[in-house]
């Protein structure tokens, strides 16, 4: 779960993501896929037809983060930890007992 200010603005709440290695990510159809360079560090993928947020990636990384909201249920996925909690909004608390990282560096 990402609590950075960009994810909170992109999703209207903390951003729930999973990740897949880029060499394993395949699209049946990418006609509606568009990318937005949201910062020097990252770009975000979205559907140009409906505006749904789909992906987040750093050019130097070997994975693409996939927004959980775009996956069909059941996913079998569960939140594992929280990142960028130093940027967390002031309107909510994180009280689920999962690990929290001040930035994006997960050390476990």
The tens-digit pLDDT sequence of the chain (108 residues) is: 999 998 999 899 999 999 999 999 998 888 999 999 988 889 999 999 999 999 999 989 999 999 999 999 999 999 999 999 999 999 999 999 999 999 987 876
Residue 11 covered by a domain? yes
Judgement on whether residues 63 and 40 belong to the same structural domain of the protein: yes
Cα distance between residue 15 and residue 17, in whole Å: 6
Contact 67, 1 (CB under 8 A): no
pLDDT of residue 71: 93
Judgement on whether residues 83 and 47 belong to the same structural domain of the protein: no
93 CB-contact burial (10 Å; exposed 0-12 / middle 13-18 / buried 19+):
exposed
Judgement on whether residues 32 and 2 belong to the same structural domain of the protein: no
Judgement on whether residues 28 and 51 belong to the same structural domain of the protein: yes
Closest C-alpha to 3, from 100, 98, 68, 77 = 100
pLDDT of residue 62: 94
CA distances from 8 to 5, 25, 53, 55, 89 (A): 5, 25, 12, 14, 8
Residue 63 covered by a domain? yes
Residue 59 covered by a domain? yes
Range of the domain at 59: 24-69
**pTM of the complete model:** 0.85
Residue 74 covered by a domain? no
* Total structural domains within the chain: 2
Residue 47 covered by a domain? yes
Reading phi first (left if > 0) and then psi (alpha if -120 to 50, else beta), residue 74 is in beta
């Amino acid at each position: 779960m990402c609590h950075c200010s960009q994810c909170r603005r992109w999703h209207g709440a903390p951003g729930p993501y999973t990740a897949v290695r880029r060499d394993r990510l395949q699209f049946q159809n990418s006609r509606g896929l568009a990318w937005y360079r949201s910062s020097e560090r990252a770009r975000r993928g979205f559907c140009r037809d409906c505006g749904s947020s789909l992906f987040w990636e750093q050019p130097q990384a070997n994975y693409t983060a996939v927004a959980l909201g775009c996956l069909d249920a059941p996913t079998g996925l569960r939140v594992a930890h929280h990142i960028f909690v130093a940027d967390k909004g002031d309107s909510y608390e994180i009280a689920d007992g999962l690990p929290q990282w001040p930035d994006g560096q997960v050390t476990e």
